[in-house]
């Protein structure tokens, strides 16, 4: 099996590389960072040419525009990377009959349901970032059928910056940290996400999946758990979304229901607290 990873420098891409090295799986890691093969997924001709040359059995698209607030102004950039580029990969995959894995987000939902979102629920994004990810979902389904579309939430891992790492950095700088109480979902550890995805790839089971670590929490509960585990002595305060007045609207409740994952490939995602414990150990806490 030969696997092409786009966005391989990102936290999920790095954990796929570790997993495939352990499994002895051949892969080609691409990114615009030094040390990786270059592949501009926004250029259809280059994507087709690259895929034709290496003939991947599987394409895992870990590349994404994730600047949620900047996307309100740079919406064309977000739409291009998260939307049109997915179509490019779908076209290239169809020409090589590759199994294509693509990731979306809980931000495609408006958060008004009040209970976990299932794969049956209809998206209604609140932000340009959410719209860009939903565009990618729609274009993928329009141009190809041999794919797995995975929605996930609050992704964290050893590589790159994420909320968990930000909280740890804040703990070194501030004696008081304010965390949002009215934004609820579930953290997702990239190590677990990569393992779950690998099971889907091995079985080649197509379709839509929701994958996040089990149980839910607010940003406040998530951050407080990390701070307590690392021994933070400062004050942890509750705040609300409105207190920060960020450019992009976030769904207040966007927990994803993992129904369909265990039922299909027998993989159950671990509890988010247990995942955070492993993550903290991985980065030396």
Q: What are the per-10-residue average pLDDT scores of the chain (285 residues)?
A: 96 97 96 92 97 97 97 98 98 96 98 97 98 98 96 95 96 97 98 98 97 98 98 96 95 98 97 98 96
**Domain assignment of residue 236, yes or no:** no
Residue 219, number of CB atoms within 10 A of its CB? 22
**Domain assignment of residue 156, yes or no:** yes
The H or E element that residue 264 is part of is helix 261-265
How high is the pLDDT of residue 109? 98
**Domain assignment of residue 55, yes or no:** yes
How high is the pLDDT of residue 160? 85
**Domain assignment of residue 93, yes or no:** yes
Is the Cα dihedral 121, 124, 130, 132 positive or negative?
positive
- Given a contact cutoff of 8 angstroms between Cβ atoms, the answer to whether 123 and 109 are in contact is yes
**Domain assignment of residue 246, yes or no:** no
How high is the pLDDT of residue 35? 87
Residue 17 lies in domain: 2-162+186-215+251-271
Count of structural domains within the chain: 1
**Domain assignment of residue 11, yes or no:** yes
Per 3-state DSSP, what percentage of the chain is helix, strand, and coil (rounded to 5)? Answer: 45, 20, 35
Angle between helices 44-54 and 85-96 (to 10 degrees): 30
How high is the pLDDT of residue 226? 98
- Given a contact cutoff of 8 angstroms between Cβ atoms, the answer to whether 250 and 241 are in contact is yes
Tell me the pTM.
0.96
**Domain assignment of residue 195, yes or no:** yes
- Is beta strand 58-61 parallel, antiparallel or unpaired with respect to 2-6? parallel
Q: What is the CATH number of the domain that holds 120?
A: 3.40.50.720
How high is the pLDDT of residue 159? 87
Q: Which residues are catalytic?
A: 129
**Domain assignment of residue 167, yes or no:** no
């Amino acid at each position: 099996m030969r696997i092409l990873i786009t966005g391989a420098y990102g936290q999920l891409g790095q954990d796929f590389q570790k997993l495939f090295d352990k499994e002895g799986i051949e892969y080609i890691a691409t990114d615009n960072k030094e040390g990786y093969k270059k592949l501009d997924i926004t250029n259809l001709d280059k994507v087709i040419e690259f895929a034709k040359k290496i003939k991947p059995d599987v394409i895992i698209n870990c590349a994404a525009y994730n600047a949620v607030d900047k996307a309100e102004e740079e919406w064309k950039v977000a739409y291009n990377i998260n939307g049109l580029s997915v179509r490019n990969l779908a076209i290239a995959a169809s020409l090589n009959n590759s199994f294509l894995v693509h990731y979306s987000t809980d931000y495609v939902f408006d958060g008004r349901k009040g209970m976990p979102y299932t794969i049956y629920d209809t998206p209604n994004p609140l932000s340009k970032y959410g719209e860009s990810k939903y565009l990618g979902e729609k274009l993928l389904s329009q141009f190809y059928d041999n794919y797995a579309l995975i929605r996930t939430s609050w992704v964290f891992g050893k590589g790159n910056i994420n909320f968990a790492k930000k909280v740890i950095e804040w703990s070194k700088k501030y004696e008081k940290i304010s965390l949002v109480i009215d934004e609820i979902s579930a953290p997702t550890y990239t190590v677990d996400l990569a393992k779950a995805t690998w099971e889907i790839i091995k079985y080649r089971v197509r379709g839509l999946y929701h994958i996040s670590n089990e149980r839910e929490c607010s940003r406040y509960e998530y951050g407080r758990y990390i701070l307590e585990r690392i021994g933070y002595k400062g004050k942890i305060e509750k705040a609300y979304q409105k207190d920060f007045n960020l450019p992009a609207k976030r769904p207040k409740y966007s927990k994803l229901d993992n129904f369909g994952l265990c039922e299909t490939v027998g993989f159950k995602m671990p509890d988010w607290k247990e995942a955070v414990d492993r993550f903290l150990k991985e980065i030396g806490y």
